[in-house]
Structures are given as C-alpha cells and as structure tokens.
Amino acid sequence: MILINLIESKKPKKHIVLSYSIILIAIIIIELLTFATAYLYQNSAINSLQARKNGLKYVASIVKKLENKTKIIKSKSNSIKKLQSMRYGDISFMNRFGDATVPDIWIDYLSKGRTITVSGKAFSYASVARYMISLEKKGGFKNVSFEGKGLSRSGGTPQNPIVSFRIRFK
C-alpha cells in the first residue's frame, strides 16, 4: 500500500525565508541611508550655524569698535562743552579785564556768571587796592568788593608778603 502524506510538512519554504531576508536587508539599507542623510543634513546645518556665528562675531567686533569710537566722541564732546562753559566771555570783556590788570598781580581763578569772581595773588596790599580801583576806572566794572575772606596773607616775608585775594564785581 502506498501511503500518501496529505499533511503538509512544516518545513519553511525557501522563497519565504529569502523574501524576509531581502526585506530585512532593505530595511537596514533604508535605515543607513536615513542616518546618512540626517548626518549630512545636521553637518550642513552645523556648518551654516558656524558660518553665521563667525559673521556675528565680525558684526560684534564692528559694534565694539563703534562703541569705542562713540565713547571717544562723547568724551571729546564733553571736553568741548566743558571748554565752552569755561569761556569767560567776549573779546570786549577780556580786553576790559586785561586793561584793568596792574603789575605784581597774578590771577589764578576767574568765574563769570551774574557776577564775576576773581582770585589771585599779589606782592602787596597796595597792589590789590590799585587793582580794585583799576577794575572800576579802566575796566568799567561796577560793585567791586572783596568776597568771603577777601584778602589774606598767604606767605612770603614780613618785608615782602604774598597776599591772596578774592574779588567780586559786575
């Protein structure tokens, strides 16, 4: 008698195993291509960001230079404003003030506002008196008087004193 085996055998078929292997290899290749693409994309993004960073560094250096120049310009502007605020007036004022100067007087401070204040040194009390009279007569200034202490001895010898003075006038 011939026995026919009608039950299928459980052996895997070669073509199914082969197709699973091909699918697995295809998935691995796709994954490798995906990783390679992601790597190249990230690398180009990193290069782009580094180029942008270098560009920003350049811009930052320009901004820093401009800030330094701005500081210098502000400093110069403040110096000019300070010099302008220290201007003592027009030429006619300076001419009148210079005409009133007498020998043996040294002016070390001059402030011009509503009233003019002058301080300095002299070799004698008489020189200060001549200067005050000259301010009124030659300079044409009014209300010439001592300010604060006004007149004090600041050194020298009894025979040759050095006198400090501070005078106010209009």
Report the pLDDT value the prediction gives residue 36, as an integer from 0 to 100: 93
Contact 108, 120 (CB under 8 A): yes
H-helix or E-strand containing 46?
helix 14-85
* Kind and range of the H or E run holding 151: strand 145-156
Rounded distance between C-alpha atoms, residue 121 and residue 156, angstroms = 11
Residue 62's pLDDT is 94
The whole-model pTM stands at 0.45
Q: What is the DSSP string of 73-91?
A: HHHHHHHHHHHHHT----H
Q: What is the pLDDT of residue 88?
A: 55
d(CA 28, CA 22): 10
Average confidence (pLDDT) per 10 residues, the chain, 170 residues: 60 66 90 93 91 92 94 90 71 81 87 85 89 87 82 79 88
Spatial distance between the Cα atoms of 101 and 84, rounded to a whole number of angstroms: 24
Residue 112: strand pairing partners = 116
